[in-house]
Amino acid sequence: MDNKKNNKIEITPDEALIDGLSFISQRLYRFIDGKKTNILPISELLLRLTISNEKKQINSEDIFIAVEQITSLLESMEKRRNSGLN
């Protein structure tokens, strides 16, 4: 019974990358007003630019931190656009 309580779900870097790219793409999609566009390459570029090049081994936490930084920036951009202070 104790084994069930101690089992943690381990998220691999690949899974974190896929989830992160999906989440960033959803956020970016709001900026293009529903036009059909493939924004996955833009999401991947943003993620690659956010993660340090000095890291030789990227783990799930690095990806989650990068996704959080990107989504925070996108939220700020969205608030500015919606405020009408262009």
Q: From first to last of its 86 residues, what are the pLDDT tens digits of the chain?
A: 444 555 677 888 888 888 899 889 888 887 776 666 778 888 888 988 888 777 778 888 889 999 999 999 888 888 888 887 75
Do 67 and 49 meet the contact criterion of CB atoms below 8 Å apart?
no
Structural contact between residues 4 and 30, judged by C-beta atoms closer than 8 angstroms? no
pTM of structure: 0.72
Q: Judging by beta carbons within 10 Å of its beta carbon (0-12, 13-18, 19+), is residue 44 exposed, middle or buried?
A: middle
Q: Which two tokens stand for residue 15?
A: 């899974």
Q: How far is CA 59 from CA 9, 21, 62, in A?
A: 15, 15, 5
Contact 63, 51 (CB under 8 A): yes
pLDDT at 4: 53
